[in-house]
Amino acid sequence: MVTPLNTLKVEFERQPKECRSRYEIDGYTRIVLPDGQKMQVSQRFWNSFCSLENLSRNVFDYFTHEEVFDRITQAKGHSVRLAVEANPEGTGQLLSG
């Protein structure tokens, strides 16, 4: 799937401030695709995304996901290619960006 980066929305099943670590936050993070599907986010996705965009993971400690996605879209104006692992239940997991 290829989509503009700023069309992805991030939701949390648990507020990040209630979590003790970034890894715990990642477990409660869901990315909502433009068609409304909520995807779990794998560590592989974040590693791939940050590497492709030349970012450090700690950027999300200072800025919201939406703000980072919007700034990248404004600066580079490109789409992101997503690799998705789909489950029979209709849920899935993002593997790479």
As a whole number, mean pLDDT of residues 13-35 equals 85
pLDDT at 90: 61
pLDDT exceeding 70 applies to what percent of the chain?
Answer: 96
What is the model's pTM?
A: 0.77
**Exposed (0-12), middle (13-18) or buried (19+): which is 42, by Cβ within 10 Å?**
middle
Q: Give the whole-angstrom CA distance, residue 39 versus residue 10.
A: 10
Residue type (1 letter), 96: S
Is pLDDT above 70 for 97? no
Q: Give the whole-angstrom CA distance, residue 90 versus residue 73.
A: 28
Total domains, the chain: 1
Range of the domain at 74: 2-96
81-90 pLDDT tens trace: 888 887 776 6
